[in-house]
Structure 1
Amino acid sequence: MESRVGFLEDVKKMLQTAKDTSQDKLLFNYKGILFPTSLCSNETFKAMETFEAREDDVFLVAYPKCGSNWSLQLLHDMVLASYNKHPSSNIPLIEFGAPTKYEKLKEESSPRVLATHLYYDNIPQTFLDKKTKMLVMFRNPKDTAVSLYHFYNNNPMLPSYSSWDAFFPDFINGNVCFGSYFDQAVTWNKHIDDSGVLLMTFEEMKQDLESSVKKIAEFFGFTLTEEQVKSIANKGTFKNMKEKSKETHGDFGQVVFRKGDVGDWKNYFTEDQNQEMDAKFEACLAGTKLGELLKYNVYCK
């Protein structure tokens, strides 16, 4: 498929750029947040100001390693089933790629499937003006931290860490790529009841993928038969996606799809780290709607 070939070529170029970049130059700071140099640039952020969202865009927002690649696959399959429309050749994260991508996106037919790791306050205003519906994905912070640690060490586009113990304080303090998990979570908690926002969790999807597919389809107004829902959920299991990752993501597939487990954090966290994360969660999210959705006492104790 031509669109898939274009996407894989872009990924290949980005990986090559990263391999030619020294470790200390792999990240740059934009508005106080770290971004990968091979994926983002000041020029792209500037050009993004001219981007025009559409009311019928299918927009995914997620902190890294909270299920964004998984959710994107499901959204693409839903759009294909509902509209017979294949994904475009553009990398779907709006902040990734060359500044020229926004001109290409203008030419793409609706509905476009788009995504971002940006903070709520940095999402282009056009999405809010157009009242574009947003699927927002979160995952329990302990598994997110472990998954992001491995993503750093397996991904040539990011600097590597000598150990989990070296990574942990940077995660807690938000000194990681795409910024603080907790800052993102606190902000999204303020918008959890906004119309046009559906907030779901990685754990909810792991527990019952079929019901999750139905919920997402209803939110975006996709018309799917029971058979299509079952097919999309079956194709969208982590096992099936990992097996096809070479085909869908090229060499980057092995970086994106590692374990997809719930509870892997127990193999890494020390007792002190557990207490520090518990205190951080308590300070930021205890008693909030998002805190309840994350079921911290179920998945992080």
Structure 2
Amino acid sequence: MAQKGLTEFLNKTLAEGEKIAPAERLFLYNGGLYPAMVCRPETLKILDTFEARSDDVVLVGYPKTGTNWVGQILTELATASGKYGEEEWKQKQQKEQELKLFPYLEFGDPDKFERMKKLPSRRIIKTHLAPQKIPKSILQKKAKILVLFRNPKDTAVSYFHFAKGMKLRPSEETWNEFFPDYISGKVPYGLYVDHIIEWNKYLDDKNIMFITYEEIKENGTLALKQIAEFFDFSVSEQEIQSIMEKTSFQAMKEKSPETHGVMGKSLFRKGIVGDWKNVFSESQNEEMDQKFEENAARTKLGMMLKYEEYCKG
């Protein structure tokens, strides 16, 4: 019932969003672009009034780095950890639907932050925001944050297909039209390498864990164990394997009409590593390589992303 409520809510939002004039699909706020379909300037204006709790489970990732996938992993880990009984978890989900809360912190109406106070702990909070735009209370309360990254080329391709499917910018019908905007940061949430540079400043923060899409793909069992340990979720080996099956790309794609409604088609496409090789031209490869090399390659976080391995050849 709760999931059905969310699906209906997302479908309604999408239908309303399609009525927005093409020129108004994106808006500029405080130097950054945001999608009008889900974000409002008045919500962003009071973002800092959000009151974090020290036990909040926070997931941060630039668009199309895998936040829907990893968000579901966190939900499954929280459920399996015994912090919630089955009935209690259903009630929690029901509460979220009753409060009409979008799955991302910056999405929705400005009254949402008051409504979020009514959610029982531990809350799972997702955002695409860069660290300098995240509500200050999250860092002040020392809530644990999982920061997710994905190689910039696959992120670009996934972002293009999502933006096209959701008609974020109707003028961009082709990859060659989208790429110059992506590489110059003229897309919602700005330039991807800027997120790498900003998050690099937080590498030594014990309340922040960094993980990559590729790491989870290559060794999901190990990644889930590390995430569970970081957030103090107590789960068995058997539960980890069960969660791996439930959150496999295929399983989530098949369930997406139920979980994300018509948005599911744009959210779950291929879910593979290396799809960029089928899309990038030689000159686009060179341009992306140069952008990464000039800005992020020498940072510790940039090196953690293994650009040479995932974005060359």
Shared fold (TM-score, shorter chain, > 0.5): yes
Aligned residue pairs, count: 300
Match of 1:294 in 2: 305
**CA shift digits 1:9-32 (9 cap, x unpaired):** 321221012111111110000111
Matched, 1:6 2:5: yes
Bigger shift: residues 48-57 or 136-145: 48-57
What is the DSSP-based 3-state SS (H/G/I as helix, E as strand, rest coil) of the residue aligned with 2:28?
strand
Match of 1:46 in 2: 45
- Unmatched 5+ stretches in structure 1: none
Whole-Å separation in 2 of the counterparts to 1:285 and 1:156: 30
How far did 1:162 drift?
2.5
Match of 1:36 in 2: 35
Match of 1:159 in 2: 170
Whole-Å separation in 2 of the counterparts to 1:31 and 1:111: 31
Matched, 1:275 2:286: yes
How far did 1:160 drift?
5.0
How far did 1:157 drift?
4.6
Whole-Å separation in 1 of the counterparts to 2:118 and 2:58: 17
- Unmatched 5+ stretches in structure 2: none
Tell me, yes or no, if the aligned pair for 2:59 and 2:145 is still in contact at 8 Å: yes
Tell me, yes or no, if the aligned pair for 1:15 and 1:156 is still in contact at 8 Å: no
Q: Which of 188, 191, 204 is the matching residue for 1:193?
A: 204
Match of 1:240 in 2: 251
Match of 1:66 in 2: 65
Whole-Å separation in 2 of the counterparts to 1:109 and 1:222: 17
Q: Which of 185, 189, 206 is the matching residue for 1:178?
A: 189
Bigger shift: residues 166-175 or 41-50: 41-50
Provide TM-score, normalisation by structure 1.
0.96
Bigger shift: residues 267-276 or 152-161: 152-161
Identity %: 48
Letter in 1 for 2:28: N
Matched, 1:106 2:117: yes
Letter in 2 for 1:106: K
Provide TM-score, normalisation by structure 2.
0.93
**CA shift digits 1:222-280 (9 cap, x unpaired):** 00011111111111111111111111111111110011111110111111111111111
Match of 1:127 in 2: 138
Whole-Å separation in 2 of the counterparts to 1:292 and 1:151: 27
Whole-Å separation in 2 of the counterparts to 1:198 and 1:105: 24
**CA shift digits 1:142-163 (9 cap, x unpaired):** 0001110111111145535131
How far did 1:179 drift?
1.0
Whole-Å separation in 2 of the counterparts to 1:46 and 1:187: 21
